[in-house]
Amino acid sequence: MIGSQQTTRVRSVSRAESRAAMLFVGLWGFGFTIFLLYPLLASFYYSFCDYSVLRSPIWVGTANYHGLWKDEVFWTTIKNTATYAAMALPLGLLVALSLALLLNAKVPGMSLFRTIFFLPSLLPMVSLAILWLWVFNGEHGILNEVLRRLHINGPNWLGDPAWSKPTLALLAMWGTGNAMVIYLAGLQGVPLHLNEAANLDGAGWWAKTRHVTLPMLSPVIFFNLIMGIIDTLQVFSVPYVMFPNGTPARSTYFYTMYLFDNAFIYHKMGYACAMGWILFLTILGLTWMALKISDRHIYYGGN
């Protein structure tokens, strides 16, 4: 009798737990469907339509993709974005890794320095862009004023096409705090006995960094590389504020800016959806290539 009561109680508890689990999974599934799956599928459908949001979509097949192929502005934005990524991505990885190596030293007050270098990444990008407009002004900016006092003629950072993208790449260094913290976390996982063995062999700082630290840190470097690819190809807020309409001479007119203008300025939502899917497939392809290359160059403990 007692055994049957316990069995009944266990079954009722199991049913209650199952209902609770299904409720939580159902809520997640509802949110996933409404806020991710439906917009994803809808954007794919609209990329084959003439759609302005203000009227019903009209199916036009691959006309949007053919139009992009012949669109000179589209290719200009791809060139600008690729050039910016080629400058900002390696520079960002190098700066973040260098800061992490410096801030991993065991010296008094290191927590304060880590906080100082991380804080800029918490500031809103739009407010930072307005601040940098003042700093990099070619005539009255603080930076050029400092250079004048050193008898150096500073360039027109914001008005010269030759300097506009390098300026943005330098500004991207302001937000390397997130990657720096991830590197610092990875450095805590480097086994001490490997460094001790290297010390016994007479290895110097650079030899230990090259043959011990970097191989053990390679998964973290790879993660930041993937995140950097995604971030640099989707650069938007800072150039959109600092360089309206991609000035000067469309040298800072990036892919996401053109996508935004097509969607919300020109009301060519179908065209913008096609651009969005091209960007998605490009990032997916680059990530896949990085994953294939990483098989030979990334060290995972125990493998």
Q: Are residues 131 and 171 in the same domain?
A: yes
Q: Which residues contact 196 (CB under 8 A, 6 or more apart)?
A: none
Q: Read off the pLDDT of residues 73-115 as tens digits, 9 standing for 90 and up.
A: 999 999 999 999 999 999 999 999 999 999 988 888 888 989 8
Q: Are residues 104 and 24 in the same domain?
A: no
Cβ proximity of 100 and 183 under 8 Å: yes
Q: Are residues 72 and 23 in the same domain?
A: no
Q: Which residues are 49's β-sheet partners? A: 59
Q: Is the pLDDT of residue 14 over 80?
A: no
Q: Are residues 69 and 35 in the same domain?
A: no
Q: Read off the pLDDT of residues 42-64 as tens digits, 9 standing for 90 and up.
A: 999 999 999 998 889 999 999 99
Whether 54 is in a domain gets the answer: no
Distance CA 164, CA 252 (A): 7
Q: How confident is the model at residue 189 (pLDDT cuts 50, 70, 90)?
A: confident
The residue to which tokens 């840190």 are assigned: 217
Q: Are residues 9 and 76 in the same domain?
A: no
Residue, of 239 and 202, whose pLDDT is higher: 239
Whether 51 is in a domain gets the answer: no
Q: Read off the pLDDT of residues 59-69 as tens digits, 9 standing for 90 and up.
A: 999 999 999 99
Q: Are residues 11 and 132 in the same domain?
A: no
pLDDT of residue 192: 84
pLDDT of residue 303: 55
Number of separate domains in the chain = 2
List the one residue out of 272, 267, 268 whose CA is nearest residue 257: 272
Q: Six-digit token pair at 63? A: 């006309």
Q: Are residues 29 and 101 in the same domain?
A: no
Q: How many CB atoms lie within 10 A of CB 259?
A: 22
Q: Is the pLDDT of residue 136 over 80?
A: yes
Q: How confident is the model at residue 125 (pLDDT cuts 50, 70, 90)?
A: confident
In this prediction, residues 188-216 reach a mean pLDDT of 86
Q: Are residues 168 and 248 in the same domain?
A: yes
Comparing 30-44, 147-161, 192-206, the range with the smallest average pLDDT is 192-206
Whether 133 is in a domain gets the answer: yes
Whether 52 is in a domain gets the answer: no
Supply the pTM of this predicted model: 0.89
Whether 239 is in a domain gets the answer: yes
Comparing 23-27, 76-80, 195-199, the range with the smallest average pLDDT is 195-199
pLDDT of residue 6: 58
Distance CA 173, CA 169 (A): 7
What is the chain's alpha carbon radius of gyration, rounded to the nearest angstrom?
A: 26
* Cα→Cα distances 236→13, 56, 172, 255, Å: 52, 29, 12, 8
Q: Is the pLDDT of residue 1 over 60?
A: no
Q: Are residues 96 and 196 in the same domain?
A: yes
Whether 70 is in a domain gets the answer: yes
pLDDT of residue 203: 84
Tell me the CATH number at 151. 1.10.3720.10
In this prediction, residues 137-146 reach a mean pLDDT of 90
Q: Are residues 94 and 179 in the same domain?
A: yes
Distance CA 64, CA 209 (A): 50
Structural domain of residue 27, as residue ranges?
2-39
Q: Which residues contact 117 (CB under 8 A, 6 or more apart)?
A: 99, 103, 177, 180
pLDDT of residue 38: 94
Q: Are residues 28 and 70 in the same domain?
A: no
Whether 44 is in a domain gets the answer: no
Q: Are residues 237 and 279 in the same domain?
A: yes
Residue, of 195 and 136, whose pLDDT is higher: 136
Whether 89 is in a domain gets the answer: yes
Cβ proximity of 74 and 258 under 8 Å: yes
